[in-house]
Amino acid sequence: MKKVIFVSSSGGHLSEILKLEQLFKEYDYLLVTEKTDVTYKLKNKYNMEYLKYGPNKNIIKYFCAIIYNIYISLKLISKFQPDTIVSTGAQVGGIMCFIR
């Protein structure tokens, strides 16, 4: 079975990824998004991993979140070894696609 990582930032991008939920059954999948109060509640429903939410209003926190997310993305890709990555965008999606 092919391995797919579905990745997006939280909010609207995640809503778009979740519209592909039917595909989750066809693949060995991992859903990756930013950890927020809303996304943490989805942990019991999906095979999920979280990246750090990076508020772009604070440049220092944003930069630290990017560095952390690069590190975690490298670990997730190395461990899961996906055949492909599907993203609906924003920072966390871009990082994973760039790494892969």
Map residue 55 onto helix, strand or coil: coil
> Residues 7-44, buried b or exposed e (16+ Cβ, 10 A)?
bbbbeebbeebbeeeeebeebebbbbbbeeeebeeeee
Whole-prediction pTM value? 0.91
What are the CA-CA distances from residue 17 to residues 59, 60, 67 (Å)? 27, 29, 24
Tokens 């019991």 — which residue?
44
Residue 56, pLDDT score:
75
Tokens 């979280």 — which residue?
50
Question: Which tokens in the block code for residue 11?
Answer: 């909010």
Residue stretches of the chain with pLDDT short of 50? none
Residue 93, pLDDT score:
85
